[in-house]
Each structure stands twice: as C-alpha cells, then as structure tokens.
Amino acid sequence: MDIKDIQNLIKFVSKAEVSEVKYKTKDFEITIKTPLAGNDAVYAQPAVYHTAPQAVAAPAPVATPATPSEKAEAASDDSKYVTIKSPMIGTFYRKPSPDKEVFANVGDEVSVGKVVCVIEAMKLFNQIESEISGKIVKILVDDATPVEYDQPLFLVDPS
C-alpha cells in the first residue's frame, strides 16, 4: 500500500462517518479512528510491520475544530478566493534553501506553473506550482511546519 492509497483511505473513512477502520495484510496494518459525530478531526494511528527492521509512522497531527461562528466568518471572507492545497503529506517550506529568498509573499502575483513553495517528503523536496493565476492574499501555513494531504496552503485572488 503506497501513500496515495493511505490518503484515499483516510478521506474515504472521514466521509463514511464511521468511528474506526482497521486494514491488515501480511506485511502492513493501519487503524484509522475518527471521533464521534459532530467533530471534524480525523485521527490516524498507522503502524507498519515489516520482516526487515521495523518502521513505525507517527500519528497524524490533530487539528482543533473551529467554532461555528469562526467557520461562518472565515467562509464569508474567503469565498471569493481560490485555495492552493498541498498535494502530499510533508514539511512545508517557503524557500528553496535557508539562504535563498521566499518563493512567494502576500501581494505577489502568481501565474500557472510558478513555484510557490516546496514540500519535503521522505528527504525529497517537491516543488509545488500554482494551478491558477492571481495575487496571493494569505499564506495559511508557517514555514518549516508539517502539512497534511489536501491542506490549504495559500489563498489566491484570481481577479
């Protein structure tokens, strides 16, 4: 099972509104637990078993849910903007290296294909390109912090 399969399984479990799913094969076991109804956070506690030296994945960070008034306020302010989301799990970096300039700042114009950040996953630095043209209005993630699959990274005003 590769990372894309795991990400798809997590998305499926969160949408299926079940409290726990266990998936087990000869070499691999994953348990995904979701909170009871009314809470949007997804808890994943994967454990990986191999015949070679054992590698155990850390549990996914848990986001605290926003109150309904915060959600409504954010939705009304940000509805006209397009979100650039993380295509993978990893560590978000705004610069290609510590001594270089950031890829994009608030107020910068971006075009389709322009690199806006890098995400490190398993010691590989993956350049994340903008899929839209517009002006960056908000950077939603701090530099050098972990990000999840499909997590919003930037808000872009396409006008």
In a domain, 72, yes or no: no
pLDDT value for 38:
45
42 inside domain: no
Query: Does 86 reside within a domain?
Result: yes
- Kindly state whether residue 74 falls inside one of the protein's structural domains: no
Report yes or no on 47 lying in a domain: no
Count of structural domains, the chain = 2
d(CA 103, CA 33): 37
CA distances for 143 relative to 39, 41, 76, 96, angstroms? 27, 23, 26, 11
Residue 58: predicted pLDDT: 52
Looking at this protein, which amino acid is placed at residue 137? V
Tell me, what's the pLDDT at 33?
73
For residue 2, give both structure tokens: 């590769």
Owning domain of residue 98: 82-157
Residue 40 has what pLDDT? 47
Looking at the structure, do residues 88 and 147 belong to the same domain, yes or no?
yes
The pLDDT value recorded for residue 2 is 72
Q: What is the pLDDT of residue 44?
A: 47
Whether residues 29 and 87 share a domain: the answer is no
The ranges of the chain with pLDDT < 50 are 37-45, 50-55, 69-75
Report if residue 73 sits inside a domain. no
pLDDT at 77: 62
CATH number of 125's domain: 2.40.50.100
Q: What is the pLDDT of residue 141?
A: 95
The answer to whether position 54 is within a domain reads no
**Predicted local confidence at residue 66, as pLDDT:** 52
Q: Which pLDDT belongs to residue 53?
A: 46
Q: 152 in helix, strand or coil?
A: strand
Phi-psi category of residue 122: left, alpha or beta, with phi > 0 → left and psi -120 to 50 → alpha: left
Give the separation between CA 67 and CA 51, rounded to whole angstroms. Answer: 45
Model pTM?
A: 0.52
What is the tens place of the pLDDT at every residue in 77-123? 667 899 999 999 999 999 998 899 999 999 999 999 999 999 999 88
Q: Is residue 52 part of a domain?
A: no
pLDDT at residue 144, rounded to an integer: 93
